[in-house]
Amino acid sequence: MILSIENVSVKTKTHTIVDNVSLSIQKGEWFALVGQSGSGKSMLSQAIGQLLPTSLQVEGEILLGDTSLTSLDKREIRKIRGKRVTYIFQDYAGSFTPFRTIGQHFKEFMQVQGISSVGEQKDRIAEALESVGLPADLAGRYPSQLSGGQLQRASIALALLFSPELVIADEMTTALDSVSGHRILELLRKKQEETNCAILFITHDWRHVRKYANRLAVMKEGKIVETGGKHRILDHPQHAYTRALIEAAPLLKKGLPSGLDQEEGHLC
């Protein structure tokens, strides 16, 4: 078991955002977390790496292998986050500071993990960029000099730099056009096969769930209402909410004609 979430809740002083959620992810598994906007998916994912603001209270247990992530202090979780568990966000441009080159972002990432040799940093940056189809000299460019697809590829290279056990991909293709989004997901699947990492894939696009996921959980108003294998849930959803979501994407089972816009098949 790579990730085990046990009875986790995320609360403000007056409101429960994530309500007593439990789920587990196996090594090498592509696990989709599906639900409408505001269902608590991103809050749950950010709780894993302690990315939530201190104004929110997290209850329950989150285990990465045998490591309790909820009991780590800020210094300890920073070493885990980036090496054993990493994030790929929807706002890929926001992952990069505009006044620093792509290479400088990689160097900072490596320094946190204790890699200070300039030669080793240079070699690792070149290898990481080339592994996602980007030229090594792109390291000297600024984020504004890259296209959206290039930036997302760079963010994947950064996330996979240390061959993490778990990659959390939060709506990572929403800001891309359909062709770029497809290429990015194919790239992520290729890298997953190479490293055997697990992926927690947060989405509201059922087509991506159908194509890439092994198992999934459906989230509504902070609660998990259904969990199971992809085919079982797509073909025989048990919960009324799951059935409503699938019925709202009528092209899902019929197959999509080539060239269909990326927004078709979304939940909302």
pLDDT digits (tens, 9 = 90+) for 75-109: 899 889 988 999 998 876 777 899 999 999 999 98
With pLDDT > 70 as the criterion, what percentage of the chain qualifies?
92
Q: Domains plus CATH for the chain?
A: 3-84+162-254 (3.40.50.300)
What mean pLDDT value characterizes the chain? 89
Q: How much is the pLDDT for 250? A: 60
The edge-to-edge listing of strands for the beta sheet with 198-203 is 85-89, 166-170, 198-203, 30-34, 215-220, 223-229
Higher pLDDT, 71 or 179: 71
For range 54-61, the mean pLDDT: 96
What pLDDT, on the 0 to 100 scale, is given for residue 45? 96
Band (pLDDT 50/70/90 cuts) for residue 251 is low
Strands in 3-11's sheet, in edge-to-edge order, are: 16-25, 3-11, 57-64, 67-68
pLDDT tens for residues 129-175? 999 999 999 999 999 999 888 998 999 999 999 999 999 999 888 77
Summarize pLDDT for 19-43 with one digit per residue, the tens: 999 999 999 999 999 999 899 999 9
Query: pLDDT tier at 11 (50, 70, 90 boundaries)?
Result: very high
| CA 231/CA 53 separation, integer angstroms | 36
- Name all contacts of 224-230 with Cβ < 8 Å and 24+ positions apart: 224/21, 224/22, 224/23, 227/23, 230/32
